[in-house]
Structure 1
Amino acid sequence: MAGVERRIMSENLRELVIDDQEHINILCETIWNGNDYVPAVFPRWISTPDSYTLGLFRDNELIACGNIEKTEGTNIGLIQGLRVKDTQRKKGYATNITIALASFAKEIGITTLWYATSSRNIASITVAQKTGFHEEASTGYFRLYNPFPPHSKPSLSVVPIQVNPERLFELLTINPELVESDKLPLAWHFDYKTIEGLTRLVSRAVVKIVLDQAGIPQGFYCVTERERKEEKTAAYTVFATNRAIFVDIMSRMIDEAQIEEVDRAVFFLGPRATEWAQDLGYVAEEFTGRRFLLYEKKL
């Protein structure tokens, strides 16, 4: 299990343990101007069952790493935190560590690998394609920052209800057009639109749904928060089949972000919501056409 003892795969490749924290800190210190999330989550990766972090070394220096975490109750492994030291880029190390993670995953019984990345991250997409992944799902994506932009007030006639996994599954079955894909995004991750996947979703987020007068779901959204280096981020997932409901949901989420004093709000959008977001008047041009992608590989 991760963190118990080092698994040595080759002279330069091994499983990392908590004693490698300083190696991780050094590798990541220049990534995202020192704001990389990997050093902060590394202890959780090490202490979590079914989570494994591999490191590639050269002359006792960690030059690349990546984590694979098995999704509870499935044979799916999520590859995350792929990192290469800035001075060692464009030398094939990202490809090497990804191949090593896939090989390791197969050894421990994982049959499907998922790998999520931004459509703007060309290097990451290239690695995915080189190592046999294909694009499996896509969602719209944009960010807002505090102070948040002016927006319309939520309607008093719209009353979102919080639901449990069973009720959510039932409602999404009633209106399959609301979430047409078989996978849902939540905060830089995806999961299946099954009762098991929705149970995992509800355990990690507040989930609400908007019904019309006939009880048919017209909008679905969820939120989860995280805090890192005193910056508070809220991640929202939004699907809708009714444009007015989508606008109302967006207003509610911005209001919630203000009340919670969130520094940054990140939105993952279904296809209709992605299209309608361009007319909200406050989505920056840099997010036009931007997507958050899920790549998949069968082992």
Structure 2
Amino acid sequence: MSLPQRIKSYFDAAVTMDYDGPTMAHPIIVLNALKNIIGDNRNNPSQKLLDSMADKSEKYPQRTDDQKVLDQTAKDGLGLTVFISDLEDACQKGNPIEMEQEAARLQWVNETGLGGLEVLIEVALQGFDRLGLFAYHLQRANAFQQNKENTWIYTRCLLKEICKASLPEPHDKVEHELWVMDQVSGNISQLNKMAAARRLWEGDYVRIDGYRRELSHWFSLLDEGAEKVDGKKIMNGLGDYVNNGGNFFIQMAEDLQDQSNWEEKTIQLEALRYFIKNATKQGQAVISMHLKELI
């Protein structure tokens, strides 16, 4: 099995878990974060991090009825027309059975297999603080070695997380100076969400206008700039990573494995890895501060 196939198998296992924990701690988040970090050295991938992915993907029992739900929907009849608005309305009403039925109908008629997933991501972004980080990493996990015949398990995974709490109403687009998107937050817990929001904003999606509408609302609620840190205090090895790449973040991720809260810290580490790519000297100093706190 090739490296991409191996990683994809971990993703597939994670999204078919019968997971009953908080959305912000769903295994697919840390698995996609690990994939991104491992990608810094594809020629000699970290066995320690791959083993960690394997262990994490086996943490919960698996659902076994995903195909059954699709087949039953087809058996019941798809009807003459399938409307995206029917799925959106079901989500707003918070009716899990109706949501699943409408998503399955859309799955059958959409040629790319992505129609339902993209609609649900837009819906999830209405509740960005609860679902945004998860939705981003789920979307990237699905896009990795994407197989349109295998999208339903990702769609259903997202459905199950959306159903755990009610959603706010859709938000209006906010015409706002989005300077905050380029800042490296001094709040490490907020930084994870900002990294997810920034990448969703920059993505190439069919429903990008809807994504940006919801993201603009979320960004407009933030009122913070970069932490004021001495710009000379750059962590050893970080500058070399910025210029040349390498194993800097891989080594840090491996070191975190022995900590009890390694999952949370790995997600934070991956967000910092994203921001370092285009960070100013001031931003690099803030990132260095966060990295030192993770150790």
TM range (shorter): under 0.3
Greater strand fraction, Structure 1 or Structure 2: 1
Greater helix fraction, Structure 1 or Structure 2: 2
Greater length-normalized contact order (CA 8 Å, ≥ 6 residues apart): 2
TM-score of the superposed pair, with normalisation by structure 2: 0.27
